[in-house]
Amino acid sequence: MITLTRLDGSHLTVNADLIEFVEATPDTIVSLTTGKKVVVLERPEAVIQAIVAYKQLIHQGPKPPQEN
């Protein structure tokens, strides 16, 4: 999941796996596989970076327990 900012400043969390494409027209529009579209303040590059960071995090797997 990634957190983005709507034009009114409110935050929303989006399932990154549902993002089909991101476009700038000049506002950034995130299109989901569900057919919904969300206009956000972040630039397309920032959305892509958030998606990449999320994917890297989930592919790392669980962290080993820390010893006390």
Mean pLDDT, rounded, for 25-50: 97
Q: Are 22 and 34 in contact (CB under 8 A)?
A: no
- Looking at the DSSP bridge assignments, the partners of residue 2 are 14
Residue 66 domain-assigned?
Answer: no
Residue 27 domain-assigned?
Answer: yes
Residue 67 domain-assigned?
Answer: no
Residue 48 domain-assigned?
Answer: yes
Instruction: Report the domain count for the chain.
Output: 1
pTM above 0.85, yes or no: no
Residue 40 domain-assigned?
Answer: yes
Residue 68 domain-assigned?
Answer: no
Which spans in the chain are helix H? 44-59
Mean pLDDT, rounded, for 3-20: 97
Confidence of residue 38 (pLDDT cuts 50, 70, 90): very high
For strands 37-40 and 28-32, give the pairing. antiparallel
Residue 29 domain-assigned?
Answer: yes
Domain ranges, residue 53: 2-59
Mean pLDDT, rounded, for 13-31: 96
For strands 11-14 and 19-24, give the pairing. unpaired
Structure tokens at 54: 């999320």
Residue 22 domain-assigned?
Answer: yes
